[in-house]
Copies of this chain bind each other. A is one copy, B any other.
Amino acid sequence: MYYLIKFSSSFLIVFVLLVSCKQETVKENKSVDVIKTEITKKDPLPSWNDTSPKKEIMAFVNTAIDKNHPNFVPIKDRIATFDNDGNLWSEQPAYFQLFFAMDRVKAMAKDHPEWKNKQPFKAVLEDDMKTLAKGGEEALIKLVMATHSGNTTVEFEQDVKDWIHTAKHPTKNVTYDKLVYQPMLELLQYLRANDFKTFVVSGGGVDFMRAFVTKIYGIPEEQILGSRIKTAYEYNDGKPVIKRLPAIEFIDDKVGKPENIQKIIGKKPVFSSGNSDGDLAMMQWTASNKHKSFMLYVHHTDADREWAYDKNSHIGRLDKGLIQAKKDGWTVIDMKKDWKIIHPFELN
């Protein structure tokens, strides 16, 4: 399983590098004609159209790294924080971590015969999404607790690794890791090439993410922040383990994001990117940096290639964030207009 992961993530990186040698023509799409994915010094963001967001990002980076510019940012302060769901990869029709929890319920069901008659497990086992949705947040927490705890950190990591490269998205029919955004992979790489330190700051579970995103995003475990459950260290006769307990310790969403950033990173980001109102406090915190900072919202506008949703969505709701972005001149990506390609598999 490990080698599969290695192959898959290397694939993305190697591919991006290889295509710089030739021009790629990929399958046509309403908003895509011919796509070049050449990451060069001249164009570090080849999957972005030459519209405002790309220009604004590059203008910001060029001044941030220019020692003689008033907007120069010292390297130690080049902290860039990215939401994950809906910002670095897709999040529809439900957070992918929920699909993981549901698949785990199915896998664990043989040891839990009582689940056949117990909600929300019954709904999951019967693929009854309607009943599951009715259970609301309480049902979700029950599912997460049952599937994300009771084992050690090592065992949980293996569960996620096994899942991410076998389970398939219900409508896109590809493994979930294929649903990352190619333009964001390029943006992460571009920022790092300019000495920004890139972090994920997500409402998703931190250990769920760490099991696979480090290789896909090129971001090490220690730069992934997320929601956490409680844990307990046990010496275990010289073979110590950390057990995952069935209790939520911290939800890394809304005001939790700047709070967690302060606790773990210890300084304000100078670049933040998100796609929902859950990211607004992080954006505001970033906007208050003493250095000139950059706030980037992803607006899901492409129902053909991805999904189109904002203020009326039950997932990744974007309402107040969009209003403040317009008011304060933050950059908003119109996915349909601004991204040449969305998912890396469009390049195949």
Contacts and interface: CB of A to CB of B under 8 A. Distances in A.
Interface of A: 76, 79, 153, 197, 206-207, 210, 220-224, 228, 231-233, 235, 238-240, 242, 255, 258-259, 262-267, 281, 284-285, 288
Given A220-B76, A222-B197, A259 B233 contact: yes
A282 to B, nearest CB: 10
A262 B230 CA distance: 11
Contacts of A220: 76
Residue among A222, A232, A239 having the largest count of chain B Cβ atoms under 10 Å: A222
Given A221-B265, A266-B221, A259 B240 contact: no
Given A233-B259, A239-B288, 15 more contacts: A79-B222, A206-B263, A221-B266, A222-B222, A222-B223, A222-B266, A222-B267, A228-B263, A231-B263, A233-B255, A233-B285, A235-B281, A238-B284, A240-B258, A264-B264
Given A259-B242, A262-B242, A267 B221 contact: yes
A285 B236 CA distance: 11
11 contacts: A197-B222, A206-B266, A221-B266, A221-B267, A224-B266, A228-B263, A231-B262, A238-B288, A240-B258, A240-B284, A242-B259
Contacts of A207: 266
A266 B210 contact: yes
Number of copies: 2
Nearest to A263: B228
Nearest to A207: B266
B264 A222 contact: yes
B281 A233 contact: yes
A285 B231 CA distance: 14
Contacts of A210: 266
Contact of A258 (B223, B233, B258): B233
A35 to B, nearest CB: 32
Contacts of A232: 255, 259
A60 B292 CA distance: 44
A195 to B, nearest CB: 13
Contacts of A255: 232-233
Nearest to A256: B233
A283 to B, nearest CB: 10
A210 B267 CA distance: 10
A197 B222 CA distance: 10
Residue among A76, A233, A238, A264 having the largest count of chain B Cβ atoms under 10 Å: A233
A40 to B, nearest CB: 27
A240 B285 contact: yes
A231 B259 contact: yes
Nearest to A221: B266
A258 B66 CA distance: 40
